[in-house]
């Protein structure tokens, strides 16, 4: 592909990067939040367990609890959204870089 062919795609990629920045930042923040929330959820579940069970036993039961599994699924979804954005951003940046290279090559041939 030459610079002319890539120009429209590069423009769309630049718009995607610019207009999606806040959404992508929010997706990363959500994933980070859920990483910390999982720790809080384990602590909450362990604290709600009565008895003289060992900490390891309480942790095991907390990890098997439906509330923890829901939080884990929410984290998976948040991470999936984040990484989808990351890979789309990388693809957009690669397209822009290919356009820049094609422009440079075209200038060198003039």
Q: Are 53 and 93 in contact (CB under 8 A)?
A: no
Residue 32 Cα to chain centre, angstroms: 9
Confidence of residue 110 (pLDDT cuts 50, 70, 90): low
* pLDDT tens figures, 27-79: 999 999 999 999 999 999 998 988 878 999 999 999 999 999 999 999 999 99
d(CA 20, CA 30): 15
- Cα-Cα-Cα-Cα dihedral sign, residues 22, 25, 29, 30: positive
Whether the per-residue pLDDT at 4 is higher than 90: the answer is no
Q: Kindly state the average pLDDT of the residues 87-100.
A: 95
């Amino acid at each position: 592909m030459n610079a002319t062919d890539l120009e429209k795609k590069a423009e769309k990629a630049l718009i995607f990067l610019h207009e999606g920045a806040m959404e992508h930042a929010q997706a990363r923040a959500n994933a980070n939040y859920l990483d910390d929330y999982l720790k809080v959820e384990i602590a909450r579940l362990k604290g709600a367990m009565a008895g003289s069970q060992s900490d390891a036993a309480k942790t095991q039961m907390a990890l098997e609890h439906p509330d923890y599994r829901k939080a884990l699924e929410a984290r998976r979804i948040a991470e999936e959204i984040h990484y989808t954005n990351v890979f789309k951003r990388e693809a957009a940046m690669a397209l822009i870089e290919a356009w820049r290279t094609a422009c440079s090559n075209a200038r060198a041939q003039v």
